[in-house]
Structure 1
Amino acid sequence: MSTWIPLALLALAALLPLAAAVLRPRAARGRREADMALYRAQLAELDREKEAGRLDEAGHRAARVEIQRRLIAAADQMEAATTAARNPALLVAVLPLIAAGGLGLYLLRGSPGMPSAPYDLRAEAMARDEQILATLRARLDALDPRSEQARQGYVLLGNAERGRGNAEGALAAWRKAIEARFDPELAGDIAELEIVRGAPAEATAWITRALAEAPAEPRLRFLAGLVEAESGRPANARTLWQALLAESPPDAPWRGMLERRLSALP
């Protein structure tokens, strides 16, 4: 019986990122909405490929089922994030129940001996995604890069590339989107990804420009402190984060995270 205790703890730990999403509900919802828009665009592209005779019925049906599955999953995640943002206490109460329910379902119906999906199926899915993204890139190349339509398309492309773990592709797409129209929130996304890939100097320019348009934005102010901390200037980071903490409402969802970051500074 004691064997299942670590497994239950691992299941609960695996759900902690969902709780962390409460700290940034607006940005998370925006990304999920963009992902859902991308999946809808993929469905429309599949229909066009079938009508043009470049995709047979079986391939069209299989690809459509897979994209619809992702669309439903994205919609469920967006609804869960919205509910959690409205009631963080509910999320804290439900997380252990989700972990326990998942463990119970696995004990009843799980198949630990079942092999993972064959490589050729995974490769086929990846190739299909790449084909759809290649079509999106081709359509974007035909648009006026300064148009709002192109800007939205590059935002979607960047979100998709980030989701695939392609940081360079995401940054390239987002930079094209921001050239069409500057958006402080998107600049924050670029800065955050630059920090994650170990380039705080590149992030600084984006944060500075974004703060010039949205000086009170908590996320941007946090990222400004994070750049200082990552650059070996903890005193500057402390000054920035203490100012943000002092101006944050008592019920601000980021207060706990900010306090932990401050206490971790040397």
Structure 2
Amino acid sequence: MEFSANNPVVKLCMQGMRLEDAGNYEDALALFLQAWEEATDDAEKFTSAYHIARRQTKPEDRLKWFNTGLQLARKINDDVVRPALPLLYAQLAQCYEELGEVDNAAKYNELAKQPTEAPSIKGPFFHGTRADLQIDDLLTAGGKSNYEADLIMNHIYFTALIHGAGLAAALAKGEGEERVYIVEPTGDFENDPNVTNKKFAGNPTRSYRSQKPLKVIGEIKNWARITLEERSKWQERLANNDGEIIN
């Protein structure tokens, strides 16, 4: 599944989450179940199963759906879903605790504590900005956040999805042209904790960050730019987001 707001399953889940925010949990669950029925691959099924599990009121039903999500994650076994494993283990442990199954609860609590594997993805990677850069230029940490005033970022961020970098370019501060560069990490990197296991389980946006510089190795000239209306909606969402940035 290519993660996109235009993906039918992603769209249904996002609509469901907006209903949750409004306290309409019954209709939210109906949309998550619709997403499950319309899913066409294991990744879409994994996404919808996770959201269905969250909305179950009985621990045995949550257990069923979180187990379904776990089996799908193990089957997919890629950098998108592997970061979700500790979250799924923790949720399963909680279900077993509520059901009084102490041994299973302990087992999954231990699994949840295991260190998360570093991403194994090789790229290509992209970075969206309004800065005018040249081949071999280095993008480094230490810049101001686009999303929180006066916050100096300890990492440089990038993604394996062109449209994700395009969105970052559209939301970047400044008046320069929106640009998407092909970049190469010069050191270790990790899953971006600001998006991993937040709205969606795992790292479906394939977003990463590093304390080491990114080297510019090319530029993408054509990508699907968001409209002014879409940009306005994103800016509104960011303005209303009171979550703390993990720096």
TM-score, with length taken from structure 2 = 0.37
What TM-score does the superposition give when structure 1 sets the normalisation length? 0.34
Which is greater in Rg? 1
